[in-house]
Structure 1
Amino acid sequence: MSLAFKEILEKAKSYEADITKFLRDMIAISSESCDEEKVILRIKEEMEQVGFDKVEIDPMGNILGYIGQGKHLIAMDAHIDTVGIGEKNLWEYDPYEGYEDDEIIIGRGASDQEGGMASMVYAGKIIKDFGLEDDYTLLITGTVQEEDCDGLCWQYIIEESKIRPEFVVITEPTSLNIYRGQRGRMEIKVSTKGLSCHGSAPERGDNAIYKMAPILNELKALHENLKDDAFLGKGSLTVSEIFFSSPSRCAVADGCIISIDRRLTTGESWEYALQQIKNLPSVKASQAEVTMYDYSRPAYTGLVYPTQCYFPSWVVEEEHVACQTLVESYKGLFEKEPFVDKWTFSTNGVSIMGRYDIPCIGFGPGHEDQAHAPNERTWKDELIKAAAMYAVIPTMYISKI
């Protein structure tokens, strides 16, 4: 079926008020990780109202909306959980009540990542309006717990629900650019042990905090010498947390723990990253323990689906049919060449492509620098264009395979 690009863009524009209201309704519902039930129910209401063929909520609490019944399963994903608001005094407007004018919408989740959800749902309506159903089934997912544990939702969808799309569009913010990869990440714990004693005679004990000090310095130096990649960029690490155990403020610390946020570029596995730290002279000298964190926080449904905190890097080649589907859709709609790049942060692609080798391509309204920021905002024009793009992608994909 040929695509009437101009008419699809015009139809998307006609839904500006509906998209805006839907997004503002989602923003108004606090939906931090593991507390997403109310926003999931609001999404279900909108999917049913615009005419999705089937809408389900799985045992983890992800919402799955289907359009069409063709043999080629294509998915589009938005995580609908958000981070907290941080220091409220840094917000010019209430983060849940939000703000809008002719150009922008402000509120927690506007760019990261409920804007993508709003555009996807109205893409489904546009598909219905124009009768664009073809030999595909479009699955639109609103997924949970991404901010806590990116990709966990898709581990569940693939492993437990046995759903395996041919490719997935991730609608995280890209400023309407096309993204085809990201660095991976992992969460590492380094622990030192000591011996407590009274602080008036520290020589009687063994201070676990002092043991950690040279490790911190060597980690800082290690960061500067990590692998680089021409596309994804350099691996990185930063110490993100520090904890201690001690009988009191008048005692020598008998334990010290640091958390490391390690970003992984091409060619860096979790085993490699852990061994790098284990090999540090200060780690060996202090007999520090180096391990990976686990995640086992219950979903809002009560489901516990534990995993290790390892999130692989991934890249889709620019020539891949999934990437070229988005490139051709973009050129048809907007009559110009897209900018093809990568994310700086992590997405559900760590599971979809990183663990399961299902091609992912990113295209989303909103900007990366708005993620987790006070006065988070998105742009109405981008929401409209994203809705048109999502409506075009399935038919374009079918024409190319």
Structure 2
Amino acid sequence: MRNLPFSEIMNKAESYRDDMSKFLRDMIRIPSESCQEKEVVLRIKQEMEKVGFDKVEIDPMGNILGYVGHGKHIIAMDAHIDTVGVGDPSLWEYDPYEGYEDDEIIIGRGASDQEGGMASMVYAGKIIKDLGLEDDYTLIVTGTVQEEDCDGLCWQYIIEESKIRPEFVISTEPTDENIYRGQRGRMEIRVETKGISCHGSAPERGDNAIFKMAPILNELKALHENLHEDEFLGKGTLTVSEIFFTSPSRCAVADSCAISIDRRLTWGETWEGALQEIRNLPSVQAVDANVTMYNYDRPAYTGLVYPTECYFPAWKVDEDHDACQAVVKAHRALYDRDAKVDKWTFSTNGVSITGRYGIPTIGFGPGMEKEAHFPNEKTWKDHLVKCAAVYATIPGMYLDQIGE
């Protein structure tokens, strides 16, 4: 086993507590919703260069990639650096882009989801450089875009277009200091009914598309209750998230109605099967409703359009996989206790990394999943420190785990 200086790694991480906190607050101060990440990417580039990354580049989609080392084993650590919006500002006790800081926490949009992960990764790179921990690996730290809009699209681009294929990826999405090895997938579905408009004073002359949708909604609710369940990932779910209509006026019968469905896919479920379950509903067949999957083609902040279908596969990694065990052992060596090995409830870039391409993803990140998209979103400075130490240790542990 490599003689990794665990106490020095922890001490170094602790010494960068204030630097990580400042860097995170700087990122929070820069609004960076999906497709508007340019300024925060430039701020990350500045920090990577300041701490001594060997190479820093921004790809045509706008993802930032920082490199440490030149070895043959390619290991990636990922944080998406776009955020959701603020929502109702009255629900925030503090300005979401200025936030709040004390000795323990930092509040602001993106604190947990998930710019905190970027702060810890960058300083893990500095710890590796400070302590001369480079070995026969190349660590690629990625700050990826458009995840909140279309999770995994950034990694479709990195793998397909940049031809980067790591041996495994650490996702720094929030895990509350646990280690995660899977998540349910998801897809975005549209159901549409057609009608015929007429004056609202004589609705019998028309065909109301909204009334046609009503029994479909009831059958969808029942379908949700009977979806497949996996022992580890849990149950598939379905919720109606949006409803639309067209009508000549408020004094007319609606001539179309459509709904959006957020469908969470557990292990063994497929996008084809999920669509067919809805198409098979008697209410859908009775009105010949159209059931389709959404597509995504919104331009990145660079102007690049990289279209994909809105399907994000479920995935999981075996607990005894070398990548998972490297994280388990790094945590144990540093903190003399085992972290809980579990799964995310929400979706991550792992839908592409593992779900599409079979590259193992292991999650370990600062913050808590429940803080994501929440008003007064916060993270913990202790998490930033701990994650930076674990990230700096993982590459060496992985080489030990595979016997190199």
- Output the TM-score relative to the length of structure 1: 1.00
Aligned counterpart, 1:216? 217
Q: Distance in 1 between matches of 2:351 and 2:264?
A: 12
Q: Distance in 2 between matches of 1:11 and 1:51?
A: 15
Task: Kindly provide the CA deviation profile for residues 170-228 of structure 1, in whole angstroms up to 9, marking residues without a partner as x.
Answer: 00000010000000000000000000011111000000000000000000000000000
Aligned counterpart, 1:397? 398
Question: 1:183-332, aligned counterparts within 5 Å?
Answer: 183-332=184-333
Q: CA offset at residue 342 of structure 1?
A: 0.1
Q: Runs of 5+ in structure 1 lacking a partner?
A: none
Q: Distance in 1 between matches of 2:53 and 2:364?
A: 22
Aligned counterpart, 1:373? 374
Q: Distance in 2 between matches of 1:5 and 1:91?
A: 39
Aligned counterpart, 2:44? 43
Q: Distance in 1 between matches of 2:292 and 2:353?
A: 25
Q: CA offset at residue 66 of structure 1?
A: 0.2
Q: CA offset at residue 338 of structure 1?
A: 1.0
Aligned counterpart, 1:344? 345
Aligned counterpart, 2:95? 94
Amino acid at match of 1:30: P
In structure 2, the residue corresponding to 1:350 is in which secondary structure? Answer: helix
Q: Distance in 2 between matches of 1:16 and 1:357?
A: 35
Aligned counterpart, 1:119? 120
In structure 2, the residue corresponding to 1:287 is in which secondary structure? Answer: coil
Aligned counterpart, 2:142? 141
Aligned counterpart, 1:355? 356
Q: Distance in 1 between matches of 2:274 and 2:48?
A: 43
Q: CA offset at residue 86 of structure 1?
A: 0.4
Aligned counterpart, 1:27? 28
Q: Distance in 2 between matches of 1:3 and 1:104?
A: 30
Q: Distance in 2 between matches of 1:349 and 1:66?
A: 21
Aligned counterpart, 1:73? 74
Q: Distance in 2 between matches of 1:127 and 1:111?
A: 24
Same amino acid, percent of matched pairs: 77
In structure 1, the residue corresponding to 2:230 is in which secondary structure? Answer: coil
Q: Distance in 1 between matches of 2:24 and 2:390?
A: 18
Amino acid at match of 1:271: E
Amino acid at match of 1:133: E
Q: Distance in 1 between matches of 2:270 and 2:148?
A: 22
In structure 2, the residue corresponding to 1:189 is in which secondary structure? Answer: strand
Q: CA offset at residue 24 of structure 1?
A: 0.2
Amino acid at match of 1:250: C
In structure 1, the residue corresponding to 2:391 is in which secondary structure? Answer: helix
Q: Distance in 1 between matches of 2:142 and 2:338?
A: 28
Q: Distance in 2 between matches of 1:338 and 1:378?
A: 19
In structure 2, the residue corresponding to 1:218 is in which secondary structure? Answer: helix
Q: Distance in 2 between matches of 1:355 and 1:278?
A: 25
In structure 2, the residue corresponding to 1:396 is in which secondary structure? Answer: helix
Amino acid at match of 1:290: V
Q: CA offset at residue 400 of structure 1?
A: 1.2
Q: CA offset at residue 3 of structure 1?
A: 0.9
Amino acid at match of 1:6: S
Q: CA offset at residue 4 of structure 1?
A: 1.3
Amino acid at match of 1:112: D
Q: Distance in 1 between matches of 2:3 and 2:149?
A: 41
Aligned counterpart, 1:163? 164
Q: Distance in 2 between matches of 1:27 and 1:17?
A: 15
- Output the TM-score relative to the length of structure 2: 0.99
Amino acid at match of 1:175: D
Query: RMSD of the alignment, in Å?
Result: 0.4
Amino acid at match of 2:128: I
Aligned residues: 401
Aligned counterpart, 2:154? 153
Task: Kindly provide the CA deviation profile for residues 123-150 of structure 1, in whole angstroms up to 9, marking residues without a partner as x.
Answer: 0000001100000000000000000000
Q: CA offset at residue 306 of structure 1?
A: 0.3
Task: Kindly provide the CA deviation profile for residues 274-322 of structure 1, in whole angstroms up to 9, marking residues without a partner as x.
Answer: 0000000000001000000000000000000000000000000001001
Q: CA offset at residue 6 of structure 1?
A: 1.4
Question: 1:57-68, aligned counterparts within 5 Å?
Answer: 57-68=58-69
In structure 2, the residue corresponding to 1:95 is in which secondary structure? Answer: coil
Q: Distance in 1 between matches of 2:386 and 2:164?
A: 28
Q: Runs of 5+ in structure 2 lacking a partner?
A: none
Q: CA offset at residue 5 of structure 1?
A: 1.1
